[in-house]
Structure 1
Amino acid sequence: MKKKPIIIGIESSCDDTGVSIIQNRNVLSNIIIHQKIHKKYGGVVPELASRLHDINIPKAVQKAIFSAKIDRYQIDAVSFTLGPGLIGSLLVGASFAKSFSMGLEIPLLTVDHIQAHVLSHFIQNANVNNSYPKFPFLSLVISGGHTQIIQVNDFFQMKILGSTLDDSIGETLDKIARKLGFHYPGGPMIEFFSKNGNDKKFIFSKPTVSGLDFSFSGFKSDVLQFLKKKLNKNTFFIKHNLSDLCASIQRITAEILLEKVQKAILKTGISRIALSGGVSANYEIRRTFVSFFAKDTKYEVFLPKKKYTMDNGAMIAITGLLKYERNLFDSVHVIPYSKFKTF
């Protein structure tokens, strides 16, 4: 009986170092090392991120192999994030992966970070309902760096239907959170304080962008200007209204995302929706999508388990495995890219 291939995945697109080992879509290990140093700077410092990846990747690989209870010589291929992301961080990951590939004489598999978020749904038991979405489906990728609606016709046949024209949803929430007094990353803090708030206490404007593209700059400016005016009159306004502010901000962001996905459904006729990316862990966004689409049984909503929403090596490994099965190997001469490329 032929052995199922074992793939190691290395993720280093931003500040988190992720290494995972997968066999037959099952996660044997999934190691993530967070770079907490960036909190004191209010955001990711690219130079620091790349230096820490250089230290953390070898540690994470060693730990992943140990946790998977395998020998490194059992690994059949190495996959890694080629882009988009911070170029310094990507170069560190690419250099390690290439050396690993050459040292063990195993194939190299490059992975697009956004595609990997989409394909994370095909990790065994990665979804809340423990099932895979059938093709075609719509993928809403929402994270600190990306906000996109993607039509997924097959594993490597994807079409971008809409993207943000300015800030991503994660970046927007972090900037608003800073004004509310939260440290980076602020999005999860908005979620935390929203739980006991009145989400209809404050009304903020929604962007009026036609088609399926997003824009969050107007929404962000509206919130920040509102807070500025209120603070000029009452320096304790945020403190006295924090939960209601957070709940209201969350409700509007969830509605913006839902309304665009509704438009994508009408345009494509596709009734399967899969959320992915770090912001897809947000409780209010999940609740909004599940409650809305639960009204009609023809719709299916796929939510990743929270450990697979953040940047992680498992999503790189599963994408690498799917490429391995199709003989989509790459050369050691590939060069990382920082900007998003069309699939």
Structure 2
Amino acid sequence: MTAPFPFSAIVGQTDMKQAMILTAVDPGIGGVLVFGDRGTGKSTAVRALAALLPPIRAVESCPVNAPTPADCPEWAELGSQKIVSRATPVIDLPLGATEDRVVGALDIERALTRGEKAFEPGLLARANRGYLYIDEVNLLDDHIVDLLLDVAQSGENVVEREGLSIRHPARFVLVGSGNPEEGELRPQLLDRFGLSVDVRSPNDVAERVEVIKRRDAFENNHTAFMAQYTAQDTVIRDAILAARERLAEITTPDAILEDCATLCIALGSDGLRGELTLLRGARALAAYQGDGTVGRDHLRAIAPTALSHRLRRDPLDEAGSGTRVRRILEDVLE
């Protein structure tokens, strides 16, 4: 099986790569929404980051990738209890997926052939401790998106149907991508994603040529290409792991909390998810960069991705949401 494209080999798309890295440092930030042109490396970045992360240790026969037999749900019938290493899961959720396929349902075959009531796990079980990727998330049924966001926030999947009462851990990073020309997400759903990034096809000839060269080398000289970027991917992985260890030790001055609140008030964002995501994102960025204290530079770096999708529409302002955030940043954090 061919290894995914190296994360460090992705050309440009700085904001998207930063958002992916921050969710790897602190999955509690929430999901990442990536809107933009087709063919800009959205799905490539997700798979590349998951491949870059160290493998997880899981019970071989556990359907939810539990780290020990004791952590596996009672309803799961364990065959082998051997602890094995496996790559960080990246599960694709197809647009036509039903709710049963997503959350799990009664195992019909077993019920008919053996007369037993048993649970058949869904995609959320397989995504536990990994990534759940939805391409064209703006075309997915709203009730499925609502369900996914609720589970992603709680970290637990609860199924109450057909006489079943099932719970299992479902801690994953939700990554949604889409093309805004094909439809938009409702504001209530946008607000539930932690970070949002707009990606565009590069307009610079040299940059596009570099993309072509790297992709061609990946496909036609795979071994040499992977060896070229292995060291760079290792540096990123080590920085992510170090940031996870450092995260709990990061200090946040009260002045930074006041900046978060002032910024969100100035932007007119509803609720408090904006402040909380901005704080967690800035703290994760500080940990990744090796800083011990959250500062205004961290807020400036994370604010556009944490807040741009939470703004109310202003028909009199033609500037994009990211531009509006940067404009308010200059006024608030002068």
Question: Per the shorter chain, which TM-score range?
Answer: under 0.3
The structure with more helix, counted as a fraction of residues: 2
TM-score of the aligned structures, taking structure 2 as reference length? 0.24
TM-score of the aligned structures, taking structure 1 as reference length? 0.24
